[in-house]
Amino acid sequence: MSLSRRAFFRNLGVDRTDSLSRDFLTSRGREALEMWRNGLSFEDDEARMQMPADAVLISSNENPLGPGPAAYQALLDGLDQQAGRYPTNFRPSHRELMQTIADKYDARPENVTLGTGSGEILENAAKAFTSPDRALVTADPSYLQARRVAERAGHPVRTVSLDANLRLDPESIAREANGAGLVFLCNPNNPSSTVMPASDVEALVAEVRRSSPDTHILIDEAYEDYVTDPAHQTAIPLALRTPNVFVARTFSKAYGMAGLRLGYGIGHADTIAVLAQWTHVFNSNNLANAAAVASLNDPQHLEQESARNKAARDYTIGVLSALGCQAADSQTNFLFVNVGRPAAEFRDACREHGVMVGRDFPPMEKTHARISIGTMDEMRRAAEVFRQVLA
């Protein structure tokens, strides 16, 4: 019996015209479970799984709409074609994806390595460039994956507090970088949502290259596509021309492919060659590759997604501000908000009303909570809950 694509998805309880189809493909709300299994404890997953089906899940910084139309069509077409082939034999192959990424930045495939999400890039970087006598330097609070890998290996970690505006502190980071193996810059930073201007990134890289030339610098730009601050620019051109500097990117955020698990590292060829030695064989699957190529060739959708996110972000900031709760200058698809009480208290109160917000982020868990940006309708529903629990 033949099975059409539409019938295939309907047998899974998903119709292409149904919003659940995008949720199915992106596994919205499941990324936290994988983090929990890896020991990061990013969410109270058991509680979240008990939430009603119509709960507002604004806890994991996911794109609420999933992949764009071109990517979605590529996924469907991929099921019809060569899903049984290895990524070297499927079209587009993983090599063709690397070429597409390279073309976007006037680079070459040897400047690119793929990852199972950008998380693999961060993990491999910590393994490749830290050691018992070569520390990891990172902000605190910041994204934890590279730090956790270094800590589990028994490698030293040096942390640098955010400044008064919850931004990365370039001068302090540069000082701590002396003799380190790896500097990790999450820019925009998670959970603080703020961005380091391009001029500060350039100055930081130059100082570390001068004072500690063997130190590698990883700039995680997972939220790059949501930035609206004109002072910010991607560090990819800088990384391509500078040894020991590389950038991690992901398709999990603006591209809406969190459940498909695809990311990449890009930078100087010599640096990428070392990083690539740690890469898993066939770490990108055929459907993710096809969706990524389609997404990269559809820049208009990315612009629309950024504008959609900004509108919902601005609305939510306004609601919280009216409640006396100040948010950091968000350049992401989430907010870091001073709610004037412990994050756990705020989170539990929201959950009672069907809204899931983010986990604790020490050392600021007594005052600040992270709130991801969903659709405008979801943020309006969440706003009503915020008004109740923050009154």
**Chosen domain end from 296, 325, 358:** 296
Mean pLDDT, residues 355-382 taken together: 96
CATH number at residue 31: 3.90.1150.10
- Looking at residue 151, its pLDDT comes to 97
Q: How far apart are CA 171 and CA 196, in angstroms?
A: 12
**Chosen domain end from 296, 326, 361:** 296
Mean pLDDT, residues 332-360 taken together: 96
Of residues 212 and 77, more confidence is placed in 212
Same domain, 97 and 207: yes
Tell me the backbone φ, ψ of residue 267, rounded to 5 degrees: 175, -160
- Looking at residue 37, its pLDDT comes to 39
Number of domains making up the chain? 2
Interior angle at CA 368, CA 364 and CA 372, nearest 5: 120
Closest CA to 362 of 191, 213, 215, 202: 191
**Chosen domain end from 296, 325, 340:** 296
Same domain, 184 and 285: yes
Mean pLDDT, residues 222-251 taken together: 97
**CB neighbours of 56 closer than 8 A, spacing ≥ 6?**
354, 355, 356, 374, 378, 381, 382, 385
Alpha helices in the chain (DSSP H): 5-11, 19-26, 31-37, 45-49, 69-80, 94-104, 118-129, 145-152, 170-176, 198-211, 236-241, 269-276, 286-296, 299-322, 343-351, 376-389
- Looking at residue 88, its pLDDT comes to 79
- State the amino acid at position 49 in one-letter form: M
Task: Give pLDDT tens digits for 125-143.
Answer: 999 999 999 999 999 999 9
Mean pLDDT, residues 11-38 taken together: 43
Same domain, 46 and 174: no
Mean pLDDT, residues 194-218 taken together: 98
- Looking at residue 284, its pLDDT comes to 83
Q: 206 pLDDT exceeds 90?
A: yes
Q: 273 pLDDT exceeds 90?
A: yes
Task: Give pLDDT tens digits for 78-123.
Answer: 876 666 777 777 878 888 999 999 999 999 999 999 999 899 999 9
- Computed over every residue of the chain, the mean pLDDT equals 88
**CB neighbours of 253 closer than 8 A, spacing ≥ 6?**
61, 62, 63, 222, 223, 225, 226, 333
Q: Which domain holds residue 165?
A: 75-296
- Looking at residue 281, its pLDDT comes to 79
Q: How far apart are CA 346 and CA 350, in angstroms?
A: 6
H/E segment holding residue 169: none
Query: Which residue carries 């793929």 as its tokens?
Result: 114
Same domain, 151 and 258: yes
- Looking at residue 94, its pLDDT comes to 84
Coil, strand, or helix at residue 11? helix
Same domain, 185 and 303: no
Tell me the backbone φ, ψ of residue 369, rounded to 5 degrees: -130, 150
- Looking at residue 91, its pLDDT comes to 79
Same domain, 143 and 246: yes
CATH number at residue 167: 3.40.640.10
Same domain, 320 and 348: yes
Same domain, 326 and 352: yes
Same domain, 257 and 154: yes
Q: How far apart are CA 199 and CA 139, in angstroms?
A: 18
DSSP letters along 18-87, please?
Answer: SHHHHHHHHTTT-HHHHHHHTT---S-HHHHHTS-TT-EE-SS---TT-S-HHHHHHHHHHHHS-TTS-T
Percent of the chain with pLDDT over 90: 77
pLDDT level of residue 5 (50, 70, 90 thresholds): very low
Same domain, 272 and 125: yes
Q: Is 352 exposed, middle or buried (0-12, 13-18, 19+ CB in 10 A)?
A: exposed
Same domain, 86 and 57: no
Task: Give pLDDT tens digits for 27-59.
Answer: 444 444 444 333 334 445 555 566 677 899 999
Q: 187 pLDDT exceeds 90?
A: yes
Q: Provide the token pair at 321.
A: 């501000």
Q: How far apart are CA 70 and CA 255, in angstroms?
A: 11
- Looking at residue 45, its pLDDT comes to 55
Percent of the chain with pLDDT over 70: 86
- Looking at residue 233, its pLDDT comes to 96
Same domain, 145 and 188: yes
